[in-house]
Every structure is written in C-alpha cells, then in structure tokens.
Amino acid sequence: MKRFAPTGRLHLPQLCALSGVMGFVTPNRVVRYTDRELPRQPPNKRALLIGINYGTKAAGPGGELRGPQRDVIEMRDLLIGTYDYKYENIVVLSDRVGAEDHLMPTKANIMRELHTFLSGQNAGDQYTFLFSGHASQSPTDDEGEKDGQDELIMTSDGEYIIDDILHDQLVKRLLPGSRLVAVFDTCHSGTLLDLPHDKCNRVASWTSCMRRSVRRVLETVWSDLVESNTNKIIQEFRKTLAERFLPNPFCSGYCPRIKPLGPNPNVLCISACKDSQEAFETDDGKSLMSIIAKTLRKNPHPSLERLMRATSQGSRDLNQEILQKQVQFDKDMEGYQQRYGYTAPGPSTPSTPRPELRYQRDPQLSSLHPLRMDCIFDL
C-alpha cells in the first residue's frame, strides 16, 4: 500500500475465499455441508491484526504510511463491539511508538504469531487475520502463480514473508469446519493467500453478469450429467466439459458451484487490489479497512454480494476523492507557473485527469470452491 501522492493509481479491493459456501447462511437456510461432523459447542474466536506504518524503517518506494496503525485498532474495536470477540483473544502487532519489542511487526514476531495463531483449534473455531502495510512481488517458476510472480508482505524490519508461507500457516493448518476471514490492505494482494477461484465469483461488472448467466446453464447441464453413468456419448461430453471448466488450475470464470466432497475449512480473503495493481491510501490514511469497517458497522451480516458491492462503491468514492485532489493540485501548479514563471517545488503534472485514476476496477472474490453470493458474511 502507498500513501497517495499527486501521481499514482487507486485500485479497488479484491475478495478471496476458500470453501466459502460452507458455514455461511443464505436467506432461507444455513449452508453447511458437514453439520453432523461439526461440534455443537460455541466456537472460539481469535484474531491476529498487523499494521505497519514503517515510520522507523525505510519502506521502499511506497514510503511511510498513515493508516495501518489505525486500521488494526479499528478492526479490533469492530470485532469486540460487533462480533463478540474477547480482548484477550486478539493479538495486535503494530510499529506504534512505545510498542513492546515482542509486539513489533518484525518478521520473527509475525512468524511466531502465525505459528501459534491456529494452535489448539477445534473444528468450528473462527479466526480473523488483518495485514495493513506494504507488499511486493518477486518472479517465480512456480506453476501455481498465473502471473509468474510470488506476492510478499513487508515487515517492519524490511524483511519479506512470501505468500506460500501465508497459505501454509493460515490455510493448510485450518481444520475442517473452522473459518478464517483474512483482510489484506496492501498492494499486489489479490492472491496473497493463493486461493484459486476469482473470476467465477465476480458480481459487479457486466461481463461478470454474463459469466454468471452462462454458469447457471452449465450447472444445470452438469447436474444432469452427473447422474448419468451409462451412455458413452454422455460420458465423453462430461469429460470434455470437465476439462474445459473444472480442472483448469486457474479460474475460468465459469466454474460450476458443485458441492465439495467431505468437510472443508472455510476461508474468506478480502484484498485491496489485484496482484498486478498497487493500492493507495488518502492523505488522512483512509483505505480498504476504513471502507470495510464503515460497511460492517451499518450491516454486520450482509450477503457476500452486498458486501462486495458496498466495498467496491466505497473504493470508487475514495478514487473520486483522490482524483479531485489530483485535479486541484494540477490547477494549482499551472497557476503557480503562470504567476511566477516557473514551476513550484514538487511534482508538476498536466491538468487532464490521468487515465489510471479514471479507470475503475471491480473487487474480486476467490475461493477453493466457487461461492454462492447470497451467503451471509460473518466474522
């Protein structure tokens, strides 16, 4: 994440999920495929919140941030006041002045907390993870990365933690029936948890509406074919359909929402932008976390579709705020130059709004299994 300067781009948030259908509530029913296997005791709720302003260390080209330290406090207050988390079950790592050494978000401390975060869990427990700060990318030969890049979060001591480690610590160790909601308010964050589905869960753009319509047809066809096992022609058609839409390691956008086999963990990941994009905060530190907190205070349990639409609209509002400041800055620079005959100190840019600031991007929803967007969000 970068603090907004008169040049740059703002991108809309991404929402990712693993096995998102399980454990959410639709308007008419609870979608939980493994109720018989889950415990009936109240779930434990734990949170790990990391916010880094990078005030004491060089933070690379992104520079010092203003919002992350406030983001973790805002999330903590939201969890306690709205979602019944206990204060003692929330760990906050922040590089604020006066923070104890073991609570500074260094690589060693973050790795320690990641390792202990899911320890002692029971099936059905609920977890919330937040990272607000800088992230970067690094070239990789890993065939699991569609863009050939690994994503990495930056710690307060200038070290990096790769997305593979985040996936191993936060996703692979999660027990069937347990739930994790992760929020990455940072650049290049679309697949920081390496969750496979994204296009098939989009709702905001007209192209996503077209894909969803086609998918509904495919789901009907697939449902009929799953029951057929005798006809060779049908079997070949099933094979062709599966090869086209199912085993593709990257989401095609038409993935049928098929009931997963056996119990699965449930992971949602809301990200500030796509892997290829950079996220910005405003001059007063507002960014993705501010939008999420505002949305969930109004409605703590929106449907996934409503949450994505509200977050997308909030991001557009921030984009418009930055665009207006950009245009005003450009006008001030032109006026300064006309009055005094030379450019004022600092960047000078043309008054025409930059294409990257006008261009809107929709939030993404990724998952191990394609999500049903009428499911209800919870923390």
* Domain identity same for 128 and 142: yes
Over residues 265-293, the pLDDT tens digits come to 888 899 988 888 888 888 888 888 999 99
Tokens 């261009």: give the residue: 359
What pLDDT, on a 0 to 100 scale, did the predictor assign at position 258? 66
Strands 30-31 and 45-51 turn out to be unpaired
What pLDDT, on a 0 to 100 scale, did the predictor assign at position 117? 96
* Domain identity same for 176 and 91: yes
Can you give the residue range of the structural domain that contains 229?
A: 205-245
* Domain identity same for 78 and 21: yes
Sequence-distant contacts of 291-294: CB under 8 A, at least 24 apart: 291/13, 291/315, 291/318, 292/183, 293/74, 293/75, 293/78
In terms of pLDDT, which residue wins out, 335 or 183? Answer: 183
Report whether 373 contacts 201 (CB < 8 A): yes
Q: Is the pLDDT of residue 331 over 70?
A: yes
Number of domains in the chain: 2
DSSP, residue by residue, 338-372:
HHHSSPPSS----SSPPHHHH------EEBSSPPP
Q: Is pTM, for the whole model, over 0.85?
A: no
Q: Return d(Cα 315, Cα 287) in angstroms, integer.
A: 8
* Domain identity same for 261 and 240: no
* Per-residue b or e along 17-38, where b marks 16 or more CB atoms closer than 10 Å to that residue's CB: bbbbbbbbbeeeeebbbbeeeb
* Domain identity same for 238 and 280: no
Provide the pLDDT confidence category of residue 52 given band limits of 50, 70 and 90: very high
Cβ neighbours for 166, distance < 8 A, ≥ 6 positions apart: 114, 153, 192, 193, 194
What pLDDT, on a 0 to 100 scale, did the predictor assign at position 107? 96
Domain end position, chosen among 221, 245, 269: 245
Q: Is the pLDDT of residue 219 over 80?
A: no
* Domain identity same for 56 and 148: yes
Q: Quote the Cα angle for 77-78-79, to 5°.
A: 95
Q: Is the pLDDT of residue 38 over 50?
A: no
User: What average pLDDT does the segment 71-99 reach?
Assistant: 95
What pLDDT, on a 0 to 100 scale, did the predictor assign at position 339? 72
Q: Is the pLDDT of residue 34 over 70?
A: no
> How high is the mean pLDDT of the chain?
77
* Domain identity same for 142 and 13: yes
* Domain identity same for 193 and 238: no
Over residues 184-206, the pLDDT tens digits come to 998 888 888 888 877 776 676 66
Alpha helices in the chain (DSSP H): 68-83, 107-117, 163-167, 206-226, 232-245, 288-298, 304-340, 355-358
Residue 343 lies in a domain: no
Over residues 110-133, the pLDDT tens digits come to 999 999 999 989 988 999 999 999
Q: Return d(Cα 12, Cα 365) in angstroms, integer.
A: 12
* Domain identity same for 160 and 177: yes
